[in-house]
Amino acid sequence: MPTHTQTMVDVKEKSALSALGKANFIRVASSFPASPIHAGDITDATIKEEFQKLVLDGAVNDGGHTFGTYNRDYVDAPDLSTVKTGGGGLPASPYVPNPVSPGPGSMDPTKQGDAPEGFGQEPNSQYGTGDALASPKTTSEAISRTTLGDYIMGKASSGGS
């Protein structure tokens, strides 16, 4: 598939004209003297690097506004082989919740008994493509290695290599 690189910053004509259809580059630059565009600090490479750092990699801390600290590399993704199951509010399996009622008049999940024998042990087939049985821990590790240039329209990410 052919790729296309869009130039992100490229001032072709640094005109001081104020005619129709012309930007007065000198006036605009003097209005925003602290902009890294005018200092020559922004290039396609630095924009991609900053995007990778600020959007795709590592943790973000919203200062307790909503989520607190959220790690975009999904380092806390569950490993299906270590999911605790049973009664007392635990799921029936890594794939389904426990359907057992906690008892008459109670909504307390800690009062649930164990799920029926074998309930939810075999996951249903998944609609679409991909590995429905893959552990989120494994798939998240692969996805977290994805970089900006790895995305292809219409294709699921393989998570890089």
Alpha helices in 52-119 (DSSP H): none
Cβ–Cβ contacts within 10 Å for residue 115, how many?
Answer: 21
Q: Determine the pLDDT at residue 13.
A: 62
Count of residues for the chain? 161
Sorted by where each begins, the domain ranges of the chain are 1-42
Burial of 102 (0-12, 13-18, 19+ CB in 10 A): middle
- What's the start-to-end Cα distance of the chain, in Å? 19
Strand segments, DSSP code E, in the chain are 59-61, 69-71
pTM for the full predicted model = 0.51
Cβ–Cβ contacts within 10 Å for residue 87, how many?
Answer: 16
Per-residue confidence in pLDDT tens, the chain, 161 aa: 556 666 665 656 666 666 677 777 788 788 888 877 766 777 778 888 888 888 888 888 888 888 888 888 888 888 989 999 999 999 999 989 999 999 999 999 999 999 999 998 887 776 667 677 788 888 888 888 888 777 666 665 554 44
